[in-house]
Amino acid sequence: MTNLFKTMEINVGPQHPSTHGVLRLILELDGEIIKSCKPVVGYLHRGIEKMAENRSYLQYLPIVDRIDYLGGFFNSYAYCDCIEHLAEIDVPDKAKYIRVLCMELNRIASHLLWLGTFMLDLGASSPLFYCFRDRERILHIFEALTGQRMMYNYFTFGGVRFDIPSDIIDKISVFIEDMPECINDYENIITDNPIFVSRCKSKGILTKKNALQYSITGPNLRASGVNLDFRKSNPYLVYDRLNFDVSSDISGDAFSRYKVRIFELHSSLKIVEQCISFIKNSSDEFLNKSVKPVMLNIDNAEYTSSVESPRGLMSCTVMAGGKNPYRVKWRTGSYYAVQVLPELLINAELADLMAIFGSLDVILPEVDK
């Protein structure tokens, strides 16, 4: 008789189709109801923070792209920003605009991948392919601009590595013209679909208090009713000169997280448009040529830069120690999203796991670093 009321322990991951890499969740199930959840992270730990300590500032720069492989530009920028502050390097205006342009396109690419995989987790297959099709266009632009599709190594101390050619600007303008229609297509398939709504509405509610206590940032926090965007509250680069909206929602469920991200696609497109119009008319330098990155030598000093990445606040702390960093610390948004998972999953159904976990947009390399 006692066996009947026993709960079942089930191990999801680290090799499970929907854990987006190598997250392991130990779930305690009562029927299909999740009674407790214990995330186990660290299967993708590459020691990225430690790697900095025996490399020069420049040698560490390409490695940084690999922290969050879907948002390489954000990592790069956070690190470059640190070094630029520590070594007191000026960045020309055009370089700043190019950086914003790249980062916003990167944000679109990242959100598209999230949307596709989220829908695949929920069981709809075709949005995945449409999202990848559009993401592919962004990656082609990046490849033409930087030389590689994901590990860009494009930002450097004092600017960016290459100027942005006019044919790429044309490509980007065509892309941002086409994109609203594509987003409209996704919304037609997804947003009002009763199955999608029933799986996401009021599932995995992240309350304002919880979100703040677990220091969730980014779209997840904005979906819980806190209108905090570091592009607005702490404008780095040229965000104070750009006109864009930040969306927030109050319900904090999976559906509002979806809504916020869809809105962000639109606002990123708007920013890209403004950047293009500046870059076209600017005759500025794209790189501060006076910097000698190879020989960079910074005295003991410390600086923390923060970036609004697609998955929340990404901050990089560099403690300089002469020719190489003494210590580098990365703070990434996904890590905190994994921490809050047990809170959200209690008393949810097993089928809700995918809707909740997917909606948080967790990228495992970013968690494990």
Partner 1 sequence: MIKKIYKSILAIIIGHITVLKHAFKKRVTLEYPEVKPLLNDKFRGEHLFDINKCKACGMCQKVCPANAITIIKDENGLNEYSIDYKKCIFCGNCYYYCNFNAIMPSSNFELACSSKESLVITFKKAEEA
Partner 2 sequence: MNYLLSIFIDFFANFGIPKEVVYIIFPIIPFCIVAAALILVVLVLVLVERKILALFTQRKGPNRVGFCGILQTVADAVKLLCKENIEPNVTDRILFSLAPIIAFVPVMVCWGIIPFSSEFDFISISVSSLLFAVIAVIPVIGVILAGYSSNNKYSLIGSVRSAVQVISYELPIMFVILSVSILASSLNIKDIILSQTSMYQVCGWYIFPCFLGFVILFVSSLAELNRCPFDLPEAESELVAGYNTEYSGMRFALFFLGEYAMLFVSSAFITALFFGGFLSPFGFYISEKIFNNNVLAQIGIYFEQAFWFFIKSFLIVFLIMWVRAVLPRLKSSDLLKFSWRILLPLSILNFIYICLFKYIVMIGGLK
Binding site for partner 2 (CB under 8 A): 8, 10, 16-18, 32, 119-126, 128-130, 133, 189, 193, 195-196, 198-199, 349-354
Three state DSSP letters for 207-238 = CHHHHHHCCCCCHHHHHCCCCCCHHHHCCCCC
Q: Binding to partner 1 by residue 61, rule CB under 8 A?
A: yes
Torsion sign (Cα): 330, 331, 337, 340: positive
Do residues 151 and 132 touch, judged by C-beta distance below 8 A? Answer: no
Side chain identity at residue 3, one-letter code = N
Which residue, 160 or 340, has its beta carbon nearer to partner 1? 160
What does the alpha-carbon distance between residue 87 and residue 231 come to, in Å, rounded to a whole number?
Answer: 24
Count of CB atoms within 10 A of residue 53's CB?
15
Do residues 302 and 34 touch, judged by C-beta distance below 8 A? Answer: no
Paired residues of 10 in beta bridges: 27
Which residue of 148, 207, 210, 288 would you call a contact of partner 1, by CB under 8 A? 148
Which residue, 32 or 178, has its beta carbon nearer to partner 1? 178
What does the alpha-carbon distance between residue 67 and residue 50 come to, in Å, rounded to a whole number?
Answer: 13
Q: Binding to partner 1 by residue 297, rule CB under 8 A?
A: no
Which residue, 174 or 195, has its beta carbon nearer to partner 2? 195
Which option in partner 1, partner 2, none does residue 147 bind, with CB closer than 5 to 8 A by kind? partner 1
Which option in partner 2, partner 1, none does residue 353 bind, with CB closer than 5 to 8 A by kind? partner 2
Which residue of 9, 30, 90, 185 would you call a contact of partner 1, by CB under 8 A? 185
Structural element, H or E, at residue 305? strand 298-309
Side chain identity at residue 239, one-letter code = Y
Which option in partner 1, partner 2, none does residue 58 bind, with CB closer than 5 to 8 A by kind? partner 1
Which option in partner 2, partner 1, none does residue 56 bind, with CB closer than 5 to 8 A by kind? partner 1
We find the least distance from the C-beta atom of residue 83 to partner 1, in angstroms, to be 15
Half-sphere exposure of 264 (CA within 13 A, CB side): 32
We find the least distance from the C-beta atom of residue 138 to partner 1, in angstroms, to be 14
SS3 43: coil
Contact pattern from residue 256 through residue 295 relative to partner 1, giving x for each residue in contact according to CB under 8 A and a dash for the rest: -------------------------------------xx-
Size of the site for partner 1 (CB under 8 A): 34
Phi, psi of 161 (to 5 degrees): -75, -40
Which residue, 18 or 153, has its beta carbon nearer to partner 2? 18
Instruction: Write out the DSSP string of 339-351.
Output: HTHHHHHTT-BHH
We find the least distance from the C-beta atom of residue 103 to partner 2, in angstroms, to be 28
Residues near partner 1, by CB under 8 A = 55-56, 58-63, 65, 126, 130, 133, 136, 143-148, 151, 153, 161-162, 185, 188-194, 197, 293-294
